[in-house]
Amino acid sequence: MMAQYASILFSMILVNNFVLVKFLGICPFLGVSKKFDSAVGMGAAVTLVMVLAIAVTWPIQQLLVAWGLEYLQTIAFILVIATLVQLLEMALKRYVPALHASLGVFLPLITTNCAVLGVAILVVDEGYTYPEALVAGLGAGLGFLLAMTIFSGVRRRVEEAEPPEVFRGMPITLIAAAITAMSFMGFSGVIDHLFGA
């Protein structure tokens, strides 16, 4: 049982990394990865929102299925996530100002982050149980955090390099992301060996 959860967690972090393998949340990945602090803050905020979003959307999906309204999934999820993020920001500001200081400012930015909606839909498609879905959400968030952290380091070097004129800015950043993604290819198969899944 424990191995099952560990397998989901690590496969979401390493093998199915949301940014570098599934290409979800590319905008913040390329945008906020310039500074290490922002990258970590953004990653942590995304992790928190992912877990909470799944905690809410998974039961909602069960209701939609029970009422035969599966086709409303997209509309329901995006509105629920947007509302949830708003409420979370208000709650943090009021009750946990210290956490709001480090994570709160990133929250409005991830309302319509495709990674959050993506993970909510993904765990439903995979047919995970409630605890499995929550673990998958945690893994997806931690994977995002890991990619952000690694890439902010890579990015510092890239910013100081002098590529040909037309490659300056976004093109060379994408090439650097390609090489980072290549390093994550080394993880495929790791989970099968570790957990025999």
Q: Which residues bind another protein (CB under 8 A)?
A: 20-28, 30-32, 34-35, 37-38, 41-42, 71-75, 78-79, 82, 97-98, 100-102, 104-105, 108-110, 112-114, 117-118, 121-122, 125, 165-167, 169-175, 177-179, 181-182, 184-185
Do 15 and 187 form a contact (C-beta atoms < 8 A)? Answer: yes
How near is the Cβ of 1 to another protein at its closest, in Å?
A: 27
Q: How close are the terminal C-alpha atoms of the chain, in Å?
A: 12
By beta-carbon proximity to another protein, the closer residue of 9 and 110 is 110
Distance CA 39, CA 5 (A): 27
By beta-carbon proximity to another protein, the closer residue of 2 and 165 is 165
How near is the Cβ of 158 to another protein at its closest, in Å?
A: 11
Q: Which of 136, 124, 110, 114 is nearest to 60 (CA)?
A: 124
By beta-carbon proximity to another protein, the closer residue of 108 and 131 is 108
Q: With helix as H, strand as E and coil as C, how does 61-92 read?
A: HHHHHHCCCHHHHHHHHHHHHHHHHHHHHHHH
How near is the Cβ of 4 to another protein at its closest, in Å?
A: 22
- Using CA atoms of 149, 114, 131, 88 in order, give the dihedral in degrees to the nearest 10: 80
How near is the Cβ of 51 to another protein at its closest, in Å?
A: 18
By beta-carbon proximity to another protein, the closer residue of 7 and 25 is 25
